[in-house]
């Protein structure tokens, strides 16, 4: 007969305590315990179902052929192994004691699960409270879960949030509604979340600035002493108000001057707009050059000469067609103006209407440089016209 280690081959043990000794015929030949769901082999040997299945699994994992654990005869799992119901009935009729400590129940094994253990007051059950996991006899379970379990849930008496009893003290240390004493020691007890509001807006011992701080008073006093300070410093506060009023009057005067300047500029702009509306038969082109100081510097130091505007047509409401031209400037001057003046030219470009336009151009050309200084009333634009325009060959029809 082969030898077997119980702890290696028996996956499930029995915790029943039988009243009388169990015959060897009713014991598993692998675990040597009373048979559980017994299986019988063709050669007549009996084993617990779990024990034999574990034995078969181990043999298969090693690539070995299946043999009977007792006598070594070859076995076919499908044909040579079958349930032994007769033996199972004998075992289920055996009398056992309840495995729970303190319980005096005895009865047939078949009645253990469905009859006795469903109501056994000594049976150990797991506490259902979150994270507890303690095993308590059924008779004490309710007492444990409601009154003894450290994981039973309570609502915080200050904020009403639910927490386990074992964690309640940690919550109290951070509870936003827990009453604490004022940090200024004024004697008030306030919720933890209201401490900053209390000290900033209510506490009589908080040091605050004088109500006349905006007038220049630098005194800082406790809130409860404000009235006394106001009564004793009336003269000082009146002097500060007088100084502040004078400063305000000066600023108001400056503002009025700026307002007058703005009104003057607005009037000038309206006048210019009126002139423009009256001269709709002319073409106006505005060219703004950003960073002109840098442009002039480059023209002087790096030899950069001409800047060219975008091309535009001289069409107006009166003229349905127009000449195509652009403006050319030399920041550091050109010809006789080089190094001393800003030179400005009008350049004629081939356009879409050249074939039907009269040549040379007989248009008046006026240039205006807008003054950019900050003092609006001092601004004075530079205005000039290009002379001898009709004898200027550059205003003839372009050919290239």
Residue ranges in the chain modelled with pLDDT below 50: 1-14, 390
74 three-class SS: strand
Q: Which two structure tokens, joined as six digits, stand for 244?
A: 């502040």
Closest CA to 206 of 233, 228, 225, 219: 225
Closest CA to 319 of 292, 289, 351: 351
Exposure class string for 116-139: b at 16+ Cβ within 10 A, else e = bbeebebbebebebeebebebbbe
pLDDT for 6: 38
Tens digit of pLDDT for each residue in 287-314? 998 888 888 999 898 877 899 999 998 8
pLDDT for 315: 80
Distance CA 131, CA 92 (A): 37
pLDDT for 183: 94
Beta-carbon count within 10 A of 244 CB: 14
Distance CA 108, CA 96 (A): 6
Closest CA to 206 of 220, 190, 192: 220
Find residue 135's DSSP bridge partners: 126
Sign (positive or negative) of CA dihedral 100, 105, 110, 114: negative
Q: Which two structure tokens, joined as six digits, stand for 123?
A: 């049976």
For tokens 């442009």, name the residue: 295
Q: CA–CA distance from 305 to each of 42, 94, 191, 338 (Å)? A: 115, 119, 76, 10
DSSP string, 339-397: TTS-EEEEEEE--TTGGGS-SS-----EEEEPP--S-GGG---EEEE--SGGG-GGGSP
Sign (positive or negative) of CA dihedral 262, 268, 271, 277: negative
Distance CA 28, CA 49 (A): 9
Torsion-angle region of 256 (φ positive above 0: left; ψ -120 to 50: alpha; else: beta): alpha
Phi, psi torsion values for 264, nearest 5 degrees: -60, -45
Tens digit of pLDDT for each residue in 209-261? 999 999 999 999 999 999 999 999 999 999 999 999 999 999 999 999 999 99
Distance CA 327, CA 300 (A): 20
pTM: 0.42
pLDDT for 8: 39
pLDDT for 107: 83
Q: Which ranges of 65-105 does DSSP label H, i.e. alpha helix?
A: 85-92
Distance CA 253, CA 259 (A): 10
Tens digit of pLDDT for each residue in 64-98? 889 999 998 999 988 999 999 999 999 888 888 88
Closest CA to 165 of 144, 179, 193, 180: 144
Q: Which ranges of the chain does DSSP label H, i.e. alpha helix?
A: 6-9, 49-61, 85-92, 111, 138-143, 168-172, 195-201, 226-232, 234-278, 292-301
Beta-carbon count within 10 A of 299 CB: 19
56 three-class SS: helix
| Cα dihedral: 137, 140, 142, 145 (round 10) | -80
pLDDT for 144: 94
């Amino acid at each position: 007969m082969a030898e077997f280690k119980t702890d290696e081959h028996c996956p499930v043990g029995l915790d029943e305590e039988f009243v009388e000794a169990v015959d060897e015929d009713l014991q598993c030949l692998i675990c040597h315990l009373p048979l559980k769901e017994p299986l019988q082999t063709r050669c007549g040997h009996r084993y617990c179902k779990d024990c034999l299945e574990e034995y078969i699994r181990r043999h298969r994992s090693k690539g070995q052929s299946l043999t009977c654990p007792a006598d070594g005869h070859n076995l076919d799992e499908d044909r040579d192994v079958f349930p032994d119901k007769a033996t199972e009935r004998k075992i289920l009729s055996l009398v056992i004691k309840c495995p729970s400590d303190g319980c005096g129940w005895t009865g047939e094994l078949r009645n253990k699960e469905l009859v006795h253990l469903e109501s056994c007051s000594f049976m150990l059950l797991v506490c259902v409270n979150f994270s507890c996991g303690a095993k308590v006899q059924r008779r004490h379970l309710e007492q444990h879960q409601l009154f003894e379990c450290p994981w039973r849930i309570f609502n915080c008496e200050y904020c009403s949030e639910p927490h386990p009893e074992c964690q309640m003290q940690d919550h109290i240390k951070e509870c936003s509604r827990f009453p604490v004493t004022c940090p200024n020691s004024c004697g008030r007890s306030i919720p933890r979340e209201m401490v900053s509001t209390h000290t900033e807006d209510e506490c009589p011992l908080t040091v605050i600035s004088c109500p006349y701080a905006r007038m220049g008073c630098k005194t800082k006093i406790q809130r409860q002493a404000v009235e006394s300070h106001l009564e004793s410093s009336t003269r000082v506060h009146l002097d500060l108000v007088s100084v502040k009023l004078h400063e305000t009057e000066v600023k108001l005067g400056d503002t009025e001057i700026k307002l007058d300047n703005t009104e003057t500029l607005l009037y000038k702009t309206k006048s210019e707009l009126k002139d423009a509306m009256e001269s709709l038969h002319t073409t106006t082109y505005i060219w703004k050059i950003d960073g002109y100081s840098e442009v002039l510097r480059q023209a002087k130091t790096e030899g950069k000469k001409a800047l060219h505007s975008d091309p535009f047509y001289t069409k107006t409401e009166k003229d349905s067609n127009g000449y195509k031209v652009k403006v050319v400037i030399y920041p550091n001057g050109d010809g006789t103006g080089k190094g001393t003046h800003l030179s400005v030219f009008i350049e004629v470009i081939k356009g879409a209407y050249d074939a039907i336009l009269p040549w040379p151009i007989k248009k008046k050309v006026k240039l205006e440089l807008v003054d950019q200084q900050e003092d609006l009333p001092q601004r004075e634009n530079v205005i000039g016209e290009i002379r001898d325009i009709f004898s200027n060959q550059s205003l003839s029809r372009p050919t290239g």
